[in-house]
Each structure stands twice: as C-alpha cells, then as structure tokens.
Amino acid sequence: MNTVSRVQIIGIDVSRDWLDIHCLPNGKRLRFQNKDKGYEQLIHLAQPVDALVCFEATGGQEWQLW
C-alpha cells in the first residue's frame, strides 16, 4: 500500500494567471498569481510545515512554478 508521509499536502491548479491552492488536511484555499511573487508566497506557505506540493501539467503554464 502506498502512503504519504507528510502531514501537510498542498495541491495546486495552475492556470496562465493564477495558482489556485488547496491545503490538506485543514482545507484552506488560496489564490496566488502565477508569477514570481506568487511562487514566493507558496514557498512561505509550504516550507515551514514541510508540505508535499503537487500540481498537474497544464500545457506549459506550470514550467515557471516547477
């Protein structure tokens, strides 16, 4: 059986302009710009809690985030 060993998981729906973020297990939802400032905000959200961050491929819109 596969398990995720992280307590916090951050899922991101990537579009041209936005990163729509859903955090588990608390259910927090956020929206950051798909630009450098948004990436910095995401780092400040994920790094302190050692979150697993995942997102889908969206026709190249995800490359800068990657």
Q: Please state the domain extents for the chain.
A: 9-57
Which residues are CB-neighbours of 66 under 8 A, at least 6 positions away?
Answer: none
- Phi and psi for 36 in degrees, rounded to 5? -50, -45
Q: Which of 13, 56, 8 is nearest to 38 (CA)?
A: 13
Tens digits of per-residue pLDDT, 2-47? Answer: 665 668 999 999 999 999 999 999 999 999 999 999 999 999 999 9
Bridge partner list, 24: 9
Task: Kindly report the pTM of this predicted structure.
Answer: 0.83
How far is the C-alpha of 2 from the C-alpha of 29, rounded, in Å?
26
